[in-house]
Amino acid sequence: MATYIQIDPTQKLDPFKSVKKLPLEEYFTSGHRTCQGCESALVMKMMAKAAGPRSIILGSTGCMYVANTTYYSTSWVVPWMHTQLGSSGSAALGTSAALKVLMRKGKIKNEPINVIAFCGDGGGADMGVGAISATLTHAEYNSLILMYDNESYANTDIQLSGSTPWGANTTFSSPGKVKRIMHRRWKKNMAGMMAAGHPECKYVATICMSYGLHGMNSIRKALAIGGPTFIHSLDPCPKGWDYDPYLSHEMGELAVNSGVWPLYEVENGLLRLTGRTEQIAAGKIRRVPVRDYLLKQGRFAHFTNDDIDYFQSKIDDMWEKWLIPGVIPFRRDVEADTPPSS
């Protein structure tokens, strides 16, 4: 069969067997000034560890730029470059294209180098979605786009994004005397959209670093498989979600165990529910009520019981009515969506 595109070799990145087998070297170290309990900073650390030293990392504007990379006190040990808010896709593509052609022409040493571009949910699910989508169609360029989703434009003072959950209190959706629910849009299904819309993309996954080994091994798989890949990470953010920083880890667990955040991967078109989500789907464990997750966060403190019930019903819907539960929201039957009045 004729091959029309040339995919360059990637690094061999076998899964880490256990936490105890992780390398000690850190490639994202001190020097940053993120909030206490910032899970996105943890994602950066784990991502860099999973990728290793022969990597180039590009980072969109957002907390993980502004709070991580101060002049003269960068936290990055590997080469790192800022990219514009909506440019994670273009940054991955341009970097990967340069490496490819310079190696082909013998202008730099030929070796597999990981290219990772990260973006927040504002940069990824809103502004940069077009560029990410384009990059996922360029099958000959190896890269990973990692969207760290703290569910708001956090760096600019917590404004709602297309990835903010329904009803959440942000500085652009703060409840008032007449209107309780100012944010009436449902969260975008980014990973599902990327997986369904880009048949040449070999790997899409959702992760949450409360399950660190799972997250790191997803990243290694994404880098090793070749071509452009996408990972969507849900990151509890104490400032934006308004909870005590010591709860960050638990908050991630609750997101997964309540079924709000399904973990899965789509590898070469094959869908696999992973981690706790797989166990929920198999009926081995029961979903925790979303109430337990929502009421731990100040951003939902204004919710009435009706609001919580509505939220729960949408999550139930996702698990019971979606064509592929948790992943693809196509349905066989249509029912009216009736959100509570604000």
Partner 1 sequence: MATATYVEEQRSTDKTALITGSEAIAVACKLADVDVITAYPIRPYDTVMQYICKLVANGEMDCEYIVAEGEHSQFEIVKHASACGARVFCGSSGVGWMYAMEALTVTPALRIPMVAMVGNRALDDPGAFGVEHNDALTVRDLGWQLVWVDSAQEALDTALIAYRVSEDRRIFLPCAISCDGAFLTHSQALVKVPSQEKVNEFLPRYNRADLLLHPDNPITVAPQGNEDWVMEIRRQNYAAMERSSLVLKEAYADFERIFGRSYGNPFFEEYETEDADIVLMGMGTLSTPVKVAIRQMRKAGKRVGFVRMRWFRPFAAAELAKSLGRFKAVGVIDRDYSFGSPYMSGVLTTEVRSALYSAPGSKPPVLGFIAGLGGREVTVPDVEKVANSVYEAADGKSQPLTQWIGLRE
Ligand X SMILES: Cc1ncc(C[n+]2csc(CCOP(=O)(O)OP(=O)(O)O)c2C)c(N)n1
Asked if residue 142 binds ligand SF4 (CB under 6 A), the reply is: no
Looking at this protein, which amino acid is placed at residue 18? Answer: S
Q: Specify burial of residue 290 (Cβ count, 10 A radius: 0-12, 13-18, 19+).
A: buried
Residue closer to ligand X, measured from CB, 227 or 240: 240
* Pair 30, 69: CB distance under 8 Å: no
Which of ligand SF4, ligand X, partner 1, none lies near 38, with the C-beta cut-off 5 to 8 A by kind?
ligand SF4
* Pair 46, 215: CB distance under 8 Å: yes
Q: How many residues bind ligand SF4 (CB under 6 A)?
A: 12
State which of residues 38, 41, 47, 63 lies at the interface with ligand X (CB under 6 A).
63
Which of ligand SF4, partner 1, ligand X, none lies near 54, with the C-beta cut-off 5 to 8 A by kind?
partner 1
Residue 237 CB, nearest approach to ligand SF4 (Å): 3
State which of residues 69, 135, 143, 150 lies at the interface with Mg ion (CB under 5 A).
150
Binding track over 24-53 against ligand SF4, x by CB under 6 A: ----------xx--x-x-------------
**DSSP strand pairing (73-74 vs 69-70):** antiparallel
Of 81-89, 236-244, 291-299, 305-313, which part binds ligand SF4 (CB under 6 A)? 236-244
Residue 141 CB, nearest approach to ligand X (Å): 23
Phi and psi (nearest 5°) for 313?
-65, -35
Where along the sequence are the contacts to partner 1 (CB under 8 A)?
53-56, 58, 65-66, 69-72, 74, 76-84, 86-87, 89-91, 93-95, 97-102, 104-105, 107-108, 113, 130-131, 133-134, 138
Asked if residue 217 binds ligand X (CB under 6 A), the reply is: no
Residue 53 CB, nearest approach to partner 1 (Å): 6
Asked if residue 154 binds Mg ion (CB under 5 A), the reply is: yes
DSSP letter, residue 247: G
The alpha helices in 105-156, defined as continuous H runs, are 121, 129-137
Residue closer to ligand SF4, measured from CB, 88 or 150: 150
The DSSP code sequence of 259-323 is TSS--EEEETTEEEE-HHHHHHHTTSSPPPPHHHHHTTSGGGTT--HHHHHHHHHHHHHHHHTSS
Residue closer to ligand X, measured from CB, 39 or 307: 39
Closest of 150, 170, 162, 206 to residue 186, by C-alpha:
162
What is the rounded end-to-end Cα distance, in angstroms, of the chain? 59
Residue closer to ligand SF4, measured from CB, 35 or 97: 35
The alpha helices in the chain, defined as continuous H runs, are 39-51, 63-66, 88-104, 121, 129-137, 190-197, 212-224, 248-257, 275-281, 290-294, 305-320
By the criterion CB under 6 A, which residues form the site for ligand X?
61-64, 85, 119-123, 150, 152-156, 161
By the criterion CB under 6 A, which residues form the site for ligand SF4?
34-35, 38, 40, 63, 67, 150, 154, 237-240
By the criterion CB under 5 A, which residues form the site for Mg ion?
120-122, 150, 154
